[in-house]
Amino acid sequence: MRSVSSVCLVLLSCSLFASCQTGSDALLDSLTEIDSQGRFLVSPRWSPGGERLLLSGRGGVGLYVVQLDTGKIDELDPAFRGAARWDAAGDITHSFAGLDDGSQLLYSDDGIRVSFSDYRGRLIVSRRDMSRVLAEDAWGATVAPDGGMVAYCTGHLPVAELHVVRIDGTLEYSGPGAQPEWLPDDRRLVFTRPQAADDGGTDNGIVGADLFMLDLATHETRRLTATPKITEMQPAISPSGKLAFTDWRSGRLFVAKLALPGGGS
């Protein structure tokens, strides 16, 4: 049998992602599909050094690590359920920074602390002895690397609304979108915009999705992908600005460089 190499990177042309550019600026560069070796992969999480990706299997079950330079996939635990992430040292941990009230610590620096309580979806910013609720009924909250802004979502996934607020509570942006991920420049973020299944009005699942980028300096939203056959979800940005995402239809994993006008990549 002469099979394709099971090793790693299958270079895709931009023709696969037919409109991976808008206007004259190509925003996705060197788009590659990582050979998942037959696995259905979701939820990419970059290692601190940007050379590995932590992923889950179908239904969030299983834990895998992809070594990007070789394409090797390590199956850590095919039966794993729950939360896992990289710690600062590049090890995988199953524990999250939690506070006494059960909320999750999202950001802490210079006396400012941002926490998220999953139960009621309560996003809280604390400064010294003062606390205020930034948002309620939120999910998918993520803080900009410099701690200046928080992005979060509300509503069901297919019709989710993306919101960005400054740490003082000022609303910066609100529009359709989900699963935001900040770029290292603190002013841009990548998010997905799912397409709801048309089943007579109830948002029962999604039939597709594409990736977009929001520039909070200009409040301009730009499309990164336009692929009816690929459901791009869960964008993840590495510390150096590389983008990873998965196709929820097939479980395929993609990695790209972001070619950003104005720098930041």
Residues in contact with another protein by CB under 8 A are 1-4, 6, 35, 37-40, 42-43, 56-61, 81-83, 98, 100-103, 117-121, 136-137, 139-140, 153-158, 160, 178, 202-206, 233-234, 248, 251
Which lies closer to another protein via its Cβ, residue 27 or residue 160? 160
CA 137-59-200 angle, to 5 degrees, is 60
Which lies closer to another protein via its Cβ, residue 27 or residue 244? 244
Nearest-approach distance from CB 16 to another protein, in angstroms: 13
Which lies closer to another protein via its Cβ, residue 174 or residue 240? 174
Nearest-approach distance from CB 119 to another protein, in angstroms: 5
Which lies closer to another protein via its Cβ, residue 49 or residue 98? 98
Amino acid identity at 93: T
Neighbours of 126 (CB within 10 A): 15
Are the beta carbons of 246 and 16 closer than 8 angstroms? no
Nearest-approach distance from CB 39 to another protein, in angstroms: 5
Element (H, E) at 207: strand 206-215
Please list, in sequence order, all residues whose beta carbon lies within 8 angstroms of the beta carbon of residue 55, skipping any fewer than 6 positions away: 41, 42, 43, 44, 45, 63, 64, 65, 66, 246, 253
Q: Which residue has the tokens 């299983």?
A: 62
Nearest-approach distance from CB 63 to another protein, in angstroms: 12
